[in-house]
Amino acid sequence: MNMMFRKTLAVVALAGMCSFAAAQPALKVVTVDMNRLLKDYYKSAEATTKLQEAGRKAEEQIEQMNKQGKELIEQFKEMEEQSKSLLLSAEARNKAAEDAKAKFEEIQRKDADVKGFAANTQRALQQRTATTIQLLLEEIQKVAVDVAKKRGATMLLDSSGPTQLGIPPILFSDASYDITEEVLKEINKDAPPPAPAAATKP
C-alpha cells in the first residue's frame, strides 16, 4: 500500500514538473550595446552641448571674478606704496596703510569667493551630468526592452562593457541576436534634421 502510494506521488510530482516546464516560455536571449546607444543617441549630443555651454559660462564668470581680484591687488599695491612714500604726510601714510589693510582683507574674501564658486560649480556640473546620463539611459532602456519584446525575447543583456573583474559580461553572442541597430533606429527616429553646412566662398 505504501509502495503504491509512493509511486502515485512520484507520478503526480513528475506530471507537475512537466506541466510547469511546459508553461515556461522558451528562453530567447538578445543583447544590446548600451554604451553605443548612449553615445549615438541624438539627445546625448544635445545634452552634451548644453553641459558644455554651462561650463563655458561658469568659466567666464570665474575669469571675470579673477579679473576683479587682479584689480584689487593693483589697488592694494598702490596703497602700500603710498603708505611708505616720504612725499606724503604721516597722516596720509597712516591712512594709506589702513586702506591697504582693508584692501588686503577684501582680496582674501574675493579669493575665497572664487574658490568656493569654482568648487560649487564643478559639483553642480558633475551632478547635472550624472542626472542627465541616468535619464537618457532610462529612455534608451525602455525602448530597448520594447524592441526585445517585439523580437519575442525573454531576456535582454547589455554587452557594452566589462564587469568589475574586467571580464565582459557576455563572452560569446551570435550577432543575429544583437538588437543595437534596431534600438538605435528607434531612439533616433525623432531626431531633428542636421543643420545645413555653411556655404564656402569660391
Q: Is residue 198 part of a domain?
A: no
Q: E-strand spans in 19-166?
A: 29-32, 155-158
Q: Is residue 142 part of a domain?
A: yes
Contact present, 69 and 118 (Cβ < 8 Å): no
Question: Residue 3: inside a domain, yes or no?
Answer: no
Residues 6+ apart with CB under 8 A from 158: 31, 32, 33, 34, 169
Grid cell at residue 60: 567666464
pLDDT in tens, 108-161: 999 999 999 999 999 999 999 999 999 999 999 999 999 999 999 999 999 888
- Tell me the longest C-alpha to C-alpha distance in the chain: 126
Residue 196 lies in a domain: no
How far apart, in whole angstroms, are the C-alpha atoms of residue 68 and residue 113? 12
With respect to residue 15, please indicate whether it lies within any of the assigned structural domains. Answer: no
Q: Quick check: is 19 in a domain? A: no
Residue 82 has pLDDT above 50, yes or no: yes
pTM (predicted TM-score):
0.73
In a domain, 192, yes or no: no
Domain count along the chain = 1
- How many C-beta atoms surround the C-beta of residue 100 within 10 A? 20
| Per-residue confidence (pLDDT) for residue 2, from 0 to 100 | 46
186-200: per-residue pLDDT in tens?
999 999 988 776 555
Q: Is residue 143 part of a domain?
A: yes
Instruction: Find out whether 155 and 27 touch, Cβ atoms under 8 Å.
Output: yes
Residue-number span of the structural domain to which 106 is assigned: 25-187
